[in-house]
A and B are shown apart, each in its own frame.
Chain A
Amino acid sequence: MGYSGARGGLEAILAAEDLVRRARDQAPAPWMPTGQITARMRLLVDRVMGEGGLYHEDTAAAALRQAEGDPLEASHLVRAHRSTLPRLAVSEPVDPDEMTILRRVVPAFREPDGPQLLGRTTDYTGRLLEQPDGQPEARPHEPGPARERTAEQRTPRRFLDLLRKMDLVADQRRTDDPDPVDITRKPARPPADRSAVLASMARAETGGLVALWYRSILGPDGDIHEVTLGDVRHGRVPLRVRHPHTGNPVTLGEFRVSEAEAIENLDGADEDRTRLDVGYGLCFGHNERKAIAMANLDIANRRFGRTGPLGQLLLLTVDGLDSAGFLEHLKLPHYVTFRSIVERKQAMRTAAEAGEGPAERVAEPAGKEC
């Protein structure tokens, strides 16, 4: 069946865009500078950086302002912008063990190596709405004396290491070192390497990933998950590239990430039931929800991705630009396609009224594109 777009309407389109611009840019409210957005909408900015696949707070903030606060539209703007940028380098492999922690909890174990550090969070605070008329007065705060952190306080050993020391983890570390798949250059299609799945999840739409995780946990696919979280962290990791003159790594600075370990109880017939396995999640910024969903889905995918739909779902459905883009396109004129549907219905009705029974329905051969 053919599809043809519509033409015309340029003046109306421009007028509609102008409505957005005037209402947004000339709203009777103080202008919202980029610094305002990065300082007060930190988690939203972080989410857009992750889903947009580009770490730069000011860029994400500008996109959010332009998108009137719509995170998916902002991510779209960020990705479009990123696509105009040259790739300057591929970093040296970041070692997450180098993370300077800003927050770290280990739900599985009360006394891990290093501190359990709540950091900046309202996880344990009652959800009571505050509606101040203006900026709240500064709360009295006497900062403690500045002091140096010990190495254990800065980069505590991860919980996975402790599990390995206890010989409780099925060791599946690879001895080869395959190059990672670059999903920004070539869309990943199943079956794909794990690096493609991890990259897809890292820039997935947060809500989409959480929904898929919830489906996986609730079990409609028949997979049983008994998962506990190991390390859950937010912190800074260094970004290094090779110096073009010396060939040695040089640190460009640090960027913030969220990280999670999901420990799963192995109970399959062909699994080592005396051990556990661990899934891994890492994403830009402070977005624990996404990192946790990613870690859970990583281990679920390694266990069941090839025997059920999960592998395909992770590669093909969690990207916000893909899914929302397809949804949004439904708002565009579909006059021709819908007219075709109507004409088929009318033809069938005419045939029925003429006493001709509907032709027997023949299924399309598998693989035929309609």
Chain B
Amino acid sequence: MTDVLSREQRCALLAEAGREELVALADECLADGAPVRVLTGPEVGAVAAQVREPVLAERFLLGDVLACRAEVEVAGQRGWSMRLGDDRAATLAAAVLDAEAEATRPQSGRIEQLCREVEARRARREAAEWAELAPTVVEFEELT
């Protein structure tokens, strides 16, 4: 990942962050009394998962994935979030953090830090997962 997080990268990492850490940080963002408006949601709905299959390169709709979306305005800056699942509080908090970071408000650095932690956590989780999976790599032998 690049040194400076793009907005999309930040949204992706906030979509993966834990509820408690998001809500706590969003509370801190709003503690200075910044005006906040909820523009959308938080709304639970479905994202239709569209797949491009590799044989004929055709698209088809695999099914729906549950997701939650919210959009807010903090101190005049719009923030948006969409997360998998149905956690409304976490989604709303992530939207607040997106607005805070976009506006380069006081907690922007903390948000960047949270994103980096989420990123590092994912790397650790995936490394641990591979440590569990790797012993199941198999090489079958042919009978000749």
B45 & A86 in contact (Cβ 8 Å cutoff): yes
Interface centre among A153, A180, A202, by most B CB within 10 Å?
Answer: A180
CB-based nearest A residue for B135:
A144
Asked whether A360 is an interface residue with its Cβ less than 8 Å from the other chain, the reply is no
Give chain B residues whose Cβ lies under 8 Å from the Cβ of A241: 47, 82
Sorting the interface of chain B by its residue count into under 10, 10 to 19, 20 to 34 or 35 or more gives 35 or more
B47 & A117 in contact (Cβ 8 Å cutoff): no
Cα of A174 to Cα of B53 in the assembled complex, Å: 11
Cα of A202 to Cα of B53 in the assembled complex, Å: 13
Asked whether B88 is an interface residue with its Cβ less than 8 Å from the other chain, the reply is no
CB distance from A259 to the nearest CB of B (A): 9
Give chain A residues whose Cβ lies under 8 Å from the Cβ of B62: 94, 199, 202, 257, 282-284
Cα of A151 to Cα of B125 in the assembled complex, Å: 16
B84 & A202 in contact (Cβ 8 Å cutoff): no
Cα of A179 to Cα of B50 in the assembled complex, Å: 10
A146 & B124 in contact (Cβ 8 Å cutoff): yes
Asked whether A55 is an interface residue with its Cβ less than 8 Å from the other chain, the reply is yes
Asked whether A348 is an interface residue with its Cβ less than 8 Å from the other chain, the reply is no
CB-based nearest A residue for B123:
A148
A96 & B138 in contact (Cβ 8 Å cutoff): no
Asked whether A190 is an interface residue with its Cβ less than 8 Å from the other chain, the reply is no
A88 & B67 in contact (Cβ 8 Å cutoff): yes
Within 57-94 of B, Cβ neighbours of A (below 8 Å) are at: 57-67, 69, 71, 78, 80, 82-86
Give chain A residues whose Cβ lies under 8 Å from the Cβ of B67: 88-89, 252
Within 302-324 of A, Cβ neighbours of B (below 8 Å) are at: none
Give chain A residues whose Cβ lies under 8 Å from the Cβ of B51: 93-94, 96, 282
Interface segment, one of B11-19, B21-29, B105-113: B11-19
Asked whether B37 is an interface residue with its Cβ less than 8 Å from the other chain, the reply is no
Asked whether B3 is an interface residue with its Cβ less than 8 Å from the other chain, the reply is no
A194 & B56 in contact (Cβ 8 Å cutoff): yes
B131 & A252 in contact (Cβ 8 Å cutoff): no
Give chain B residues whose Cβ lies under 8 Å from the Cβ of A248: 6-8
Give chain A residues whose Cβ lies under 8 Å from the Cβ of B31: none
Cα of A9 to Cα of B45 in the assembled complex, Å: 36
In the A-B complex, the 8 residue pairs with the smallest Cβ-Cβ separation, listed nearest first, are A56-B66, A146-B127, A195-B60, A93-B52, A88-B45, A253-B84, A118-B136, A86-B45
A residues contacting B by CB (< 8 A) are 49-50, 53-56, 58-59, 82, 85-97, 100, 102, 105, 110-111, 115-119, 143-149, 153, 158, 160, 172-174, 177-184, 194-196, 198-199, 202-203, 239, 241, 243-246, 248-253, 255, 257, 261, 278-280, 282-284, 298
Apart from the given pairs A173-B55, A179-B59, A282-B53, 11 other A-B contacts in the complex at a CB distance below 8 Å? A54-B66, A55-B64, A56-B86, A96-B54, A144-B131, A153-B134, A180-B61, A248-B7, A250-B8, A255-B49, A280-B54
Residue pairs across A and B with Cβ atoms less than 8 A apart, 21 shown, are A54-B66, A56-B84, A59-B66, A88-B46, A94-B50, A96-B51, A117-B137, A143-B128, A143-B131, A144-B132, A147-B131, A173-B55, A184-B61, A195-B58, A199-B61, A202-B62, A241-B82, A248-B8, A250-B11, A252-B82, A278-B55
